[in-house]
Amino acid sequence: MITYLYWGLVFGLAIAAVALIGAKLNHLRVGLTTTAVILIVGWAAYYFHFQQVFVKRYGGVMTVTVPDKQHHISATWKDDNLWIENYDPATNTCHFNEYSRGNLLEGKVLIKNCNPLMPRQSLAPQAP
């Protein structure tokens, strides 16, 4: 719902720019340029920042793809950032990545020899 309001505001500003600058002030080229800038900035702000904020705080849908040949273990939120843990059996490494669109300002932690999919060995002695 919040996403619809956001896009309604962005498109409303774009239409207002064309109507106000293009029609009222009779500068159609400036109005269309302003509209294009509003739409590009609105898209970039949503794609790189607001999508995660909207999903976490207000509910919504976001799709993240697990890299090939890795197994998903967990995901958690830290502030407004989504952290995803995957396991790579080929290298026996856990990848704990901060998810960010466009790979901007992502954090990454590698855990070597983590074996998350292996069953734990019991330390208690077995009865004969």
pLDDT at 37: 95
pLDDT at 108: 85
The one-character DSSP state at 22 is I
pLDDT at 119: 62
- Other beta carbons within 10 Å of 75: 12
* Pairing mode, strands 93-99 and 71-78: unpaired
Q: pLDDT truncated to tens, each residue of the chain (128 aa)?
A: 788 899 999 999 999 998 988 777 888 888 899 999 999 999 999 988 888 888 888 887 788 889 899 999 999 988 878 899 999 989 989 999 888 766 566 788 888 988 776 665 555 555 55
Q: What's the pTM value of the predicted model, to 2 decimals? A: 0.65
Tokens coding 90: 């080929």
User: Measured between alpha carbons, how far is residue 86 from residues 51, 61, 63 in Å?
Assistant: 22, 20, 15
